[in-house]
Amino acid sequence: MSIAMSYGLDQFVSDCRSILKRDPGPEGRDEVRSLLERLLSNKTFVEQYCGEHVPRGLKVLYEDPDLGFQILAHINDKARISPPHDHGASWAIYGQATKYTDIIEWAREDDGADPKHAKLKPVKKYRLTPGKAGIYQDGAIHSIDYPDYARFIRVTGTNLDKINRIKIDLKTGAVEQMYAQQAS
Ligand SMILES: [Fe+2]
């Protein structure tokens, strides 16, 4: 196999397009999740888009003009713990490139009737290691915790700048709206 045959970003984009056109639901997204793991097993891709030389911050690698999904690189240097949050009406897939991310998925114990208050309980905890990808379906509440230099590739169903999301303070249960795209 030549180097040109290794699984790269262009092929991943074109596979995402055809899969999500055919099946935009949970099963199609899980196919995208598997392919993201394949992409992250390509050391050349990881070095090119997540290596030491890459500028820090959040970079949009691709936005689909028809389907609206985005592929983003989160080039982090500093450790971070996010509060529990959702992605509004969008799903999200996180694929680990370097170091690891600990993820907790949360369920609401309240009935969701109070827009300013939520009571959460943890329902699933796992660690993403390099080459592994996890998925949150629509509206799933999750939090992430990663060390210095943890970098990841994220695929979201739509540009999160355009939709309302919430984050929840674990101590007080206060619900806050999030408006800008943040590295979480
Ligand atoms: Fe998130």
Mean of per-residue pLDDT scores for the chain: 91
Cα-flanking dihedrals φ and ψ of residue 119, to 5°?
A: -115, 125
What would the pLDDT profile of 63-110 be if each residue is shown by its tens digit? Answer: 999 999 999 999 999 999 999 998 887 899 999 999 999 999 999 999
pTM, rounded to two decimals: 0.88
Give distance in angstroms: CA of 19 to centre of ligand 1.
22
Give distance in angstroms: CA of 130 to centre of ligand 1.
18
Give distance in angstroms: CA of 155 to centre of ligand 1.
11
Give distance in angstroms: CA of 11 to centre of ligand 1.
25
Residue 183 pLDDT: 47
